[in-house]
Amino acid sequence: MTDHLNEELVMTQEGLDNLKKRLEYLKTVKRYEVAARIKTAREYGDLSENAEYDEAKSEQGFVEGEISELEAKIKKVKVIDDNDIHTEDVGVGSIVKVKDLEFGDTEEYKIVGSAESDIAQNKLSNESPVGRGLIGAKVGQVVTIPIPDGEVQYEILDIRR
């Protein structure tokens, strides 16, 4: 079993910046919003039957938990230097244009570390089945990638930073 507590988190500078922005927001804005809600709820009186107080305290727990999680993640980040992102083959930080050979669609994906993956923004984790299958591929190559409902074949059209 892998020890995920000491594992490095590989990500781009943009990903690290986003984690830091989220942490800053939680520490400077959200934490104080929740504290103000707790203070207001306390003023309603009896805390044993005060739903607003219970809800605010619960939210405070979530906020503090996310702060702790982000701080721990940030300590483990290894930033991929833009100079280390090459275009000979697909790696973390690469933007790869592929053609789905079954459907003829073309897609462009950015390969990122798992902590910054976001399929809605076409950011694929290097640990996902497709991300892992694209790593190391070269322009012109066709890769066959096992996915949960079978397999997908992509032709690599372009690789850029």
Q: Rounded to an integer, what distance in angstroms lies between the CA atom of residue 6 and that of residue 107?
A: 34
- Type of residue found at 16: L
Pairing of strands 150-160, 95-100: antiparallel
Name all domains of the chain by residue range, CATH numbers in brackets: 9-79 (1.10.287.180), 82-160 (3.10.50.30)
* pTM (2 d.p.): 0.70
For the chain, the farthest-separated pair of C-alpha atoms sits apart, in whole angstroms, at 70
Q: Using one digit for the tens of pLDDT, what is the confidence trace for 68-90?
A: 999 999 999 988 877 777 788 99
CB 102 within 8 A of CB 152: yes
pLDDT reported for residue 111: 92
Q: How many CA atoms lie within 13 A of 154 on its CB side?
A: 25
Q: Is 3 a residue whose pLDDT tops 70?
A: no
Q: Using one digit for the tens of pLDDT, what is the confidence trace for 9-60?
A: 888 888 899 999 999 999 999 999 999 999 998 888 777 778 888 999 999 9
